Chains A and B, each alone.
Chain A
Amino acid sequence: MTTRTAGMHCEDKTVSYHLKQAWLAFRANITAGVATLSTMTLTLTLLALVALVTINLETIVRGLEKDVQITAFLAPAENISLAKAQGDAVLTVLSGIAGIESSTFISRAEAFAKLKTEYPALEGVSKQVDNPLADRIVIRVQNPRTIEDIAIQVKTIVGVAELEYGADFVNTVLATLETVRNIGYGLVLLLVFNTLLNILNTIRVAMFARRDEIQVMRMIGATRGFIRAPYVLEGLALALLASLFTMAIIFPAYSTIASRVSELVPFIPIIKDPFLVLQVLGAITLLGLFLGLLGSLWAANRYLREAE
């Protein structure tokens, strides 16, 4: 007699068996699943936004930092050759100071010529008045955060009359950037924690709904790995879905916003490279999967420990 059993219709592969069980667990517990999915999507979307805003702000600050320089105005000299000699002496001292990228002597004549090029209206005035500018040395530093320390040293050099540098501006921008970033990450941290708790609850409810089956599995001799596999898969699947939703929201939204910002304020260097945006979203997806894995493993292990 050949008996075709109903159970034989099940998938033969263990993985597909667990996937099927994961789908059943999700379907039996759809409200909690959707709640987790939406929270996770919100978290990952916010995280992607914070990451993209931070990257853009850092690009802007890097651009600003490049423009940060110290201008050391030299004491007035009686003639050009004395001014040049004074400049050379200061340059020699500067070469001994660590952290300086370059230093360039600009005579007062060169500075005035440059000023006239930038502001052609001064051309007429220059014929009536003497060159009011001083000889100067323009110093670029390797790290803008050290500008203040270097400026203190430069100020003591004989021949340097006055200094000008934009430390306050850089410091303000950096502090603002840091605050924005910290608030963003703080918010994301809270959401990440909330997402973990959501996954934890979803998986616990799913396991509780199938407690009889789990009890039978334990008695028959199922390993912990076998019992928790469908629930871990459920956690991973939720994370993957949330990541895909995040991509679907962020990628077009960011592209549109970046194009609009570039049109309105073209001098702000907004990142428009789609590859970089995809890299950020890839990292967010990995984080999402990690959260899904961690949350579901945590929940399943806790449930099984309690059931022992």
Chain B
Amino acid sequence: MVEFHRVSLEYPQTQTLALEEINLSIKKGEFVYLTGHSGAGKSSFLGLIIKSIVPSKGQVYIGGESLTKYKGGRVAYHRRRIGMVFQNHSLLDHLSVAANLEFALRITEAPKRDWNERITGILRTVGLAHKSKVFPIQLSQGERQRVAIARAVITNPMLLLADEPTGNLDPDVSWEIMELLSEINLKGTTIILATHSREIVEQQRRRTLTLRKGKLVRDDPNGGYAL
């Protein structure tokens, strides 16, 4: 599903080596933690997958295809296969919960006849069916993150990238979000979750990748937190 072949990333402006010689492979249906201190290269790693940044060296493959040849419109279509959840949820505050989800369906050109059903279904999955007309500002942090997850998966992506999705949440709510992500993973979506939360990594043992100063220093199939 996701393969990195000797991938290095250097930011020329600051001459910083964000990632160095990364080699790894993530299979379809896996749920992988990506851990490391702030600045270890987690966000750069995710950025390479959605091609918001390009590697200085090496190749990134998604679904067997190298991203190098993706240009312009193909990048947009590539991103439609990937759902993204951010720490700051990135919902559009002037749109209702349902309209935020509709926004994603419209952009990805999902058949209009399915919109209602899909919005209703995903809101039920994330437990917010009763809040479809509410605006994000009226929701709690945890609820907003659930809407963000709903928006990320409503387009049925094959891969879900979550960048510190529980970063702003208290432990109980974080646990709910993790439960939700597990549920999504069980339905077949591959998930890469960037986090520096020891609790999460320790409580739900999964394959864990650890980055340190841009290097992949640990790839442990049994998981566990170690920086």
**Residues of A at under 8 Å CB distance from B?**
1-8, 10, 12, 14, 17, 212-213, 215-226, 308
Stretch at the interface among B1-9, B108-116, B177-185, B218-226: B108-116
Give A1 to B117 CA distance when docked, in angstroms.
11
Q: Is the CB of B119 within 8 A of A213?
A: no
| 22 pairs from A and B in contact (CB 8 Å cutoff) | A3-B132, A5-B98, A6-B96, A7-B95, A7-B100, A7-B102, A8-B98, A8-B115, A17-B106, A212-B92, A215-B90, A218-B52, A218-B76, A218-B79, A219-B84, A220-B84, A220-B103, A220-B104, A221-B82, A224-B72, A225-B73, A226-B107
Give A3 to B129 CA distance when docked, in angstroms.
7
Q: A residues within 8 A CB of B106? A: 14, 17
Q: Is the CB of A220 within 8 A of B155?
A: yes
User: Nearest A residue to B135 by beta-carbon distance?
Assistant: A6
Q: Is the CB of A12 within 8 A of B79?
A: no
**Residues of B at under 8 Å CB distance from A?**
50, 52, 72-73, 76-82, 84, 90, 92, 95-104, 106-108, 112, 115-116, 119-120, 123, 129, 132-133, 151, 155
- Known contacts A17-B106, A212-B92; A221 and B76 CB within 8 A of each other: yes
Q: Is the CB of B99 within 8 A of A10?
A: yes
Q: A residues within 8 A CB of B92? A: 212-213, 216
Q: Which of B82, B103, B129 contacts A1 (CB 8 A)?
A: B129
- Beyond the given A220-B103, A225-B73, could you list 16 further A-B residue pairs with CB under 8 A, ordered by the A residue number? A3-B132, A5-B102, A5-B119, A6-B96, A6-B97, A6-B132, A7-B95, A7-B96, A7-B99, A8-B102, A10-B99, A216-B92, A216-B103, A219-B79, A223-B76, A224-B73
Q: Is the CB of B116 within 8 A of A212?
A: no
Q: Is the CB of B115 within 8 A of A221?
A: no
Q: Which of A7, A10, A212, A224 has the most CB of B within 10 A?
A: A7
Question: What distance in Å separates the Cβ of A14 from its nearest Cβ neighbour in chain B?
Answer: 8
Q: A residues within 8 A CB of B98? A: 3, 5-8
Q: Which of B76, B107, B115, B151 contacts A224 (CB 8 A)?
A: B76
Q: Which of B73, B90, B155 contacts A216 (CB 8 A)?
A: B90
Give A218 to B77 CA distance when docked, in angstroms.
10
Give A285 to B114 CA distance when docked, in angstroms.
42
Q: Which of A3, A10, A215, A308 contacts B102 (CB 8 A)?
A: A10
Q: Is the CB of A6 within 8 A of B99?
A: yes
User: Nearest B residue to A17 by beta-carbon distance?
Assistant: B106
Give A223 to B71 CA distance when docked, in angstroms.
11
Give A34 to B1 CA distance when docked, in angstroms.
51
